[in-house]
Structure formats: C-alpha cells, structure tokens
Amino acid sequence: MSKYLRKAKPPRVGDAPAVRRSLIAFVLLVGAVLILAPLVVIFVQAFSQGFSTFARTIAQPDTRHAIFMTVATALIAVPINTAFGIAAAWAITKFDFPGKRLLTVVIEIPFSISPIVAGVAYLFVYGLQGVFGPALQAADIKILFALPGIVLASMFVTAPFVARELIPLMQAQGRDLEEAATSLGASGWRTFFSVTLPNIRWAMLYGVVLCNARVMGEFGAVSVVSGNIRGQTNTLPLHVELLYHDYQTVGAFAAASILTALALVTIVAKVILEHQGAGRAGRPMLAGPAVEAKETHQ
C-alpha cells in the first residue's frame, strides 16, 4: 500500500541519460578548448627550447623588474582595497545614512567602466595637464609613469571585489550580534575582531583572492598610466606584450608562464581557504561568534 502512496519525484531537467551525457560532454569540450588548451600551450611554448633557455629568459633584468613591479603593486593595492572593502561593507550594512544607495552604486562603478577609460581618466587627473598635475609637479611628486600611478589604476579596477563579497553576507547576518556584543560592554574594535570578522573571514579572503588575481593580470588601465617603459614601469602583462611584439616568442611565453603560475597558485589558495571554511567542526556560521560575544562581557 505504501508504494502507491509514495509520491513520484518529478523528473529533473536533463535527467535522461542521453541529455546528461551530452551536457557533460559539451561542458568538458568547451572547458578543454577555451581554458585548458591555452594553459597547456603557454607552458609547452615556454619550455620549447629547454629549461636553460627558460631560466635565461626569466633571469633577464627587464623580466625580473616586471615581476617585481607586479608583486609590489599587489602588495600595496590588495591590502588597501581589503581595508576599503571592509569599511564600505560595514558602513552600508551596519548604519543608515543619507546617500547609502549612492555609495553602493559608486562602489560598483569600476565594473561598468572600461579599464582603458579609467586609465585615461587618471591622465586627466594626475597628468601634467590634469587637475592636480601642476601642483604635483611643483611638489616634485611623480604619480603617472611610475609605481604610484600603477597602484592607483590597479586599485580602481579592483576596488569592488572585497566589498561585493562582504555586503550581501553582512546584510543577511544583520546587526543582532554586534548589538548584543555592544550591549554586553564590548568596544567597537573588540566587537569587530570577536564577532564580525569570524563571520566574514571566508568571504573576505575570497574577495582578497579575486582582487589579487585581477591586480596581477590587469593590462588596460596599467598600460595607460605606466607609459609602458621597458625595464622601469612594465608589469608582467605589459612585458609579455612587448616581448611578443619584438618577436621574442619564447620569452613572451616564459613571462606569461610566470603570470599563469601566479594565477594557479591564487586558485589553489582559494580552494584551500574554501575547504577550511567548510570544515570548521560542522558548526553553524553564527554559532561561534555568538558565544564569543558573550565571552566579551566576562
């Protein structure tokens, strides 16, 4: 009798074996052609003349300087954008103030503007004929065609990443835990480090990973504000283009392989962080900080 009362599960989309196999085969094929094949070609071409040639190419002063510029830009831009993202998410989700929606729109602007347009805009702000150009020149401060300009352009294109990951999460969590901690006598900083940060740490780290990957791979805005000066203001993406236009194919692929390896390391770090976040003793996300909020008063 029970088998007649048991409700049949509705068929899922693509539940038929033929459709399921076709979808999987299509995804694997497109992934192999669009993603895997270019990565394989990069490393094959980089080592096509042997490891010694690859090592000599990487050891060239211009390539080493491009690597230094890329890493230095990331080390400066990513922490600043992380602090900005946390502050913006905190302000938008924890406070009510006039212009709140406008601030949200402003944070999203870099996603809707071409990086090259952003680079040109920086020329009209910090260039010699720009808004602050004469004052900067009088003070002997160089922004454009130097590391500060590259950092500013990279910060512009990556400004929304951390905030965009944190705002939906913090909105869903609400303000109850922070208000409870404050009512129990916790200071603002103690509330943040003991209550808010444990709840947002994995979303924050995910945004940091995305921000870092974009900073290291940014080309459009950086190409405008850096001046593309070989051995001085080139980052790795710009250096790859210069080598390619100089018909140094192996050198271009060797530099590109370094950039690809950095991207792969970033992806591995993201996967590890996600795995750690999902395996925290199986506790609900809000359980731990609620206990810590009570301990703050003790």
Looking at the predicted structure, is the pLDDT value of residue 38 above 60?
yes
The separation between CA 263 and the C-alpha centre of its own chain, rounded to angstroms, equals: 11
- Please answer whether residues 130 and 81 qualify as being in contact, where contact means their C-beta atoms are separated by less than 8 angstroms: no
Q: Where are the domains of the chain?
A: 60-297
pLDDT band with cut points at 50, 70 and 90 for residue 72: very high
CATH value of 60-297 in 1.10.3720.10, 3.40.1350.10, 3.40.605.10, 1.10.240.10: 1.10.3720.10
pLDDT, mean of residues 209-220: 89
- Please answer whether residues 166 and 254 qualify as being in contact, where contact means their C-beta atoms are separated by less than 8 angstroms: no
Residue 11, pLDDT score: 61
pLDDT band with cut points at 50, 70 and 90 for residue 86: very high
Residue 231, pLDDT score: 81
CA angle 71/207/219 to nearest 5° reads: 45
For the chain, strand residue ranges (E) read none
191-196 long-range contacts, CB within 8 A, separation 24+: 191/293, 191/296, 192/90, 194/289, 194/292, 194/293, 194/295, 194/296, 195/289, 195/292, 195/293, 195/296, 196/90, 196/170, 196/289
Residue 280, pLDDT score: 36
Distance CA 56, CA 254 (A): 10
In 3D space, the residue among 211, 265, 234, 259 whose CA is nearest the CA of residue 150 turns out to be 234
Residue 290, pLDDT score: 40
Q: Which helix (H) or strand (E) holds 26?
A: helix 17-31
3-state secondary structure 259-277: HHHHHHHHHHHHHHHHHHH
Residue 284, pLDDT score: 40
Q: Can you tell me which residue has the tokens 């999987």?
A: 24
For 226-281, write each residue's pLDDT tens digit.
Answer: 888 888 888 999 999 888 888 888 888 988 888 888 878 878 877 776 676 533 33
pLDDT band with cut points at 50, 70 and 90 for residue 10: low
pLDDT band with cut points at 50, 70 and 90 for residue 74: very high
Q: Can you give the pTM of this predicted structure?
A: 0.78
Residue 75, pLDDT score: 93
Copy the structure tokens of residue 117: 């347009």
In 3D space, the residue among 156, 127, 130, 131 whose CA is nearest the CA of residue 142 turns out to be 127
In 3D space, the residue among 261, 265, 256 whose CA is nearest the CA of residue 66 turns out to be 256
Q: Which helix (H) or strand (E) holds 110?
A: helix 100-112
Looking at the predicted structure, is the pLDDT value of residue 21 above 90?
no
